[in-house]
Amino acid sequence: MVYDEQKILKLLEDPATRRQAFTSIVNQYSEQLYWKIRHIVVSHEDANDILQNTFVKVWSNLDDFQNKSKFSTWLYRIAINESLDFLRKQKTNLLQASTEDMSVANKLEADDFFDGDRTQALLQEAIASLPDVQRTVFNLRYYDEMKYSEISKILDTSEGALKASYHLAVKKIMSFFNNHD
């Protein structure tokens, strides 16, 4: 059953309906969060793992939600932070791994869950080459078409900084494509 945010918050307050409300949260937000995460981490398996971690963290921290922002904004912030933490850990592991790994584009084309063409795979490789914050801002703005004011609440930063990050990300992606002609 689909509930609006206020109804979910009311159900979460009552211990008798808390589990039902959480199930509704998982059902309502799984797909949206999955794609936000997937655009950041690229891999289907990693996105699924991070999505699970996100919901575990949400369940564990339900009492910490202070209702200062929309509930969905709080969910997105947790998902994005989990994604960025994953990338930081992955970078540390990559520094220790061999340099013979396939490129992001090649990995995507080998992924059974990827249904795009070479250009889309190269776009994902260009996005993956961006610094974490630029990648996140680009994904939220480009794929999710979020307004800077919304992204600002999720990432807890100024709209001006977000606009600069997005502009730099676009320039780097264009440069990536110019170098891959």
pLDDT tens per residue, range 36-54: 998 888 788 999 999 999 9
Picking from 101, 135, 158, the residue at the C-terminal end of a domain is 101
Structural domain harbouring 69: 1-101
Residues 9 and 90 in one domain: yes
CATH number assigned to the domain comprising residue 1 = 1.10.1740.10
Residues 79 and 109 in one domain: no
Q: What percentage of the chain exceeds 90 in pLDDT?
A: 43
Residues 84 and 20 in one domain: yes
Picking from 101, 124, 147, the residue at the C-terminal end of a domain is 101
Using CA atoms, how far residue 112 sits from 34, 57, 107, 108, 160, in Å, is 17, 29, 10, 8, 39
pLDDT, mean of residues 76-105: 70
Task: Please report the pLDDT score of residue 66 as a whole number.
Answer: 85
**99 pLDDT tier (thresholds 50, 70, 90):** very low
Say if residue 128's pLDDT is above 60: yes
Picking from 101, 125, 154, the residue at the C-terminal end of a domain is 101
- Torsion over CA: 15, 17, 23, 26 (sign): negative
Least confident of 22-26, 51-55, 88-92: 88-92
Q: Which tokens hold the place of 37?
A: 């995460």
Task: Please report the pLDDT score of residue 165 as a whole number.
Answer: 94
Residues 96 and 110 in one domain: no
Angle between helices 118-128 and 132-142 (to 10 degrees): 130
